[in-house]
Amino acid sequence: MNGHVTLVAAGSRGDVQPLVAVGRGLRRAGLRVRVVALDAYRPLVVAHGLEHVSLTGVDPRKLLAGGGADWVRTGRNLVAFLRHYRRLVDRLYLDLFTRVWDATADTDLVGFGTLTIMAHPVADRRGIPRVALPLQPITRSRRYPSITVPGTWGRLGGVFNLATHVLGEQLYWATVRSAVNRALVEVLDVAPFPRRGPFRRIAGDDRYPFLYGISSTVFPRPPDWPPWHHLTGFWFLDVDEPLPADFESFLAADPPPVYVGFGSMVHDDPEWVAAQVVDAVGRLGRRAIVAGSGLRVRGNPEGVLVVDDVDHARLFPRVAAVVHHGGAGTTAAALRAGVPQVVVPHFADQPFWAERVHRLGAAPPPIRVRRLDADRLEAALREALSPPLRERAATLGCRIAAEDGVGAAVALILRRLEGDGRPGAVRRPRPPTPGGPRR
């Protein structure tokens, strides 16, 4: 099939890599694919035969190094976090809309990642179809509360659940409204979104299908979702490159090690946290592979391999357990590997994934980052390594490994391009006015 697709993957690696996986699937289907992402991920994009368009501006990872770090570390000071996030968005959105406009000059369809769903008027201005490609469930429902609140609140019923979605949307909209509306007016020369935001309009628009990179094994599809909101399965980017030699030699010894990594999460004392991790794993007679980002292992302790970056898909099936922060990508990789997990959520959607994995029986109850110490981690790892939990994790792994999330997403995108008359099919919006947007 001929055609050109642009995928907007603003965010960190966890936001970019799944969309690269979809892009590679589209390329194999015969399409040209362009990915709008930060320069740091250009090697990842081009390595899979995709075009890269630079997204300059502010790296969202810097959010964790500034005013937002206190909330990540302690779970407190939400107001300071949102203020910092608003400053980041104010600097990012004008550039984002401009870059996406330029990148879609010869595009037949645009796919927007979680952080850029509100940029869909760019596609409308171009007169081309669009799809949303979120990695977290954000569609309103009476069956589950917003992922911004504890999942246990779902016991309060459907009306309350729906209210948490509306309140979460409004809190987010209050943070980004000025930046988004300014970009709509100054870059696209279109009317701003209404004061309450575009959420109701987006949810009711069958021209804007949501293709979630989430497995229904992990999160069953709520029956009150619109029919054009789909769960395709996780989007894994598998590569054929072997693990480095030092990994292989470390993994060759018995027993299998425990992997510990918290992504780019920030800690007040990364040396102390790393010491707690090494102590807890050592008490169990296990070795540890520790991801150095966010942790700082002092010295060269025996039985510990410190790494900068690693392919989770190749490593996780060969470890005894995975201790992580609950990012969507890391959670999915550990689930598919069929190994038990211990989740230490820090912020954002991480508590949601931590709770899901626990409810599925693949992990003990999550450990709040404020309460992480060697004693609690040792106890959680003992439970994670117990035969019943390992068996449940392995069963889940088999089910998820049998899914083809990328294939399902590609099929839906191709259907959207072809336009088959069903909900979510192409319905060409009004062409842009002569002269194009203001620059």
107-149 tens-digit pLDDT: 999 999 998 999 999 999 999 999 999 999 999 999 999 998 8
Considering the domain architecture, whether residues 395 and 411 belong to the same structural domain is answered as no
Q: What is the pLDDT of residues 355-366, one digit of tens each?
A: 999 999 999 999
Residue 424 belongs to some domain of the structure: no
Residue 344 belongs to some domain of the structure: yes
**H helix or E strand, kind and range, residue 288:** strand 288-291
* Residues 53/99, Cβ–Cβ less than 8 Å: yes
Considering the domain architecture, whether residues 211 and 152 belong to the same structural domain is answered as yes
Residue 430 belongs to some domain of the structure: no
Considering the domain architecture, whether residues 66 and 110 belong to the same structural domain is answered as yes
Considering the domain architecture, whether residues 139 and 256 belong to the same structural domain is answered as no
Residue 413 belongs to some domain of the structure: yes
Report whether pLDDT(238) > 80.
yes
Residue 249 belongs to some domain of the structure: yes
Considering the domain architecture, whether residues 137 and 223 belong to the same structural domain is answered as yes
**What pLDDT does residue 437 have?**
65
Residue range of the domain that includes 162: 4-234+403-418
Residue 427 belongs to some domain of the structure: no
Cβ-proximal residues to 156 (8 Å cutoff; 6+ apart), any chain: none
Lowest-confidence region among 10-19, 89-98, 324-333: 89-98
Considering the domain architecture, whether residues 82 and 198 belong to the same structural domain is answered as yes
Between β-strands 288-291 and 304-307, what pairing exists: parallel, antiparallel or unpaired?
parallel
Report the percent of the chain where pLDDT is more than 90.
71
**E strands, 331-393, in order:** 341-343
Considering the domain architecture, whether residues 129 and 255 belong to the same structural domain is answered as no
**What pLDDT does residue 241 have?**
83
Mean pLDDT computed over every residue of the chain:
89
Nearest residue to 92 via CA among 67, 61, 68? 61
Mean pLDDT for 340-346 is 95
Mean pLDDT for 289-317 is 90
Considering the domain architecture, whether residues 194 and 287 belong to the same structural domain is answered as no
Between β-strands 321-324 and 32-37, what pairing exists: parallel, antiparallel or unpaired?
unpaired
Cβ-proximal residues to 239 (8 Å cutoff; 6+ apart), any chain: 311, 313, 314
Number of domains in the chain: 2
Cβ-proximal residues to 89 (8 Å cutoff; 6+ apart), any chain: 175, 176, 179, 180
Helix (H, G, I), strand (E, B) or coil at 226: coil
Considering the domain architecture, whether residues 291 and 409 belong to the same structural domain is answered as no
Considering the domain architecture, whether residues 204 and 261 belong to the same structural domain is answered as no
Q: Which residue has the higher pLDDT, 160 or 75?
A: 160
pLDDT-derived band at 191 (thresholds 50, 70, 90) equals very high
Nearest residue to 134 via CA among 49, 203, 43? 203
* Residues 165/136, Cβ–Cβ less than 8 Å: no
CA distances from 439 to 185, 298, 362 (A): 10, 51, 51
| Max mean pLDDT range (83-97, 104-118, 263-277) | 104-118
Considering the domain architecture, whether residues 57 and 190 belong to the same structural domain is answered as yes
Residue 255 belongs to some domain of the structure: yes
pLDDT-derived band at 87 (thresholds 50, 70, 90) equals confident
Considering the domain architecture, whether residues 65 and 208 belong to the same structural domain is answered as yes
Lowest-confidence region among 77-86, 228-237, 238-247, 278-287: 77-86
Residue 438 belongs to some domain of the structure: no
CATH number of the domain that 87 lies in? Answer: 3.40.50.2000
**What pLDDT does residue 292 have?**
78
Between β-strands 229-231 and 258-261, what pairing exists: parallel, antiparallel or unpaired?
unpaired
**Using CA atoms, how far apart are residues 320 and 318, in angstroms rounded to an integer?**
7
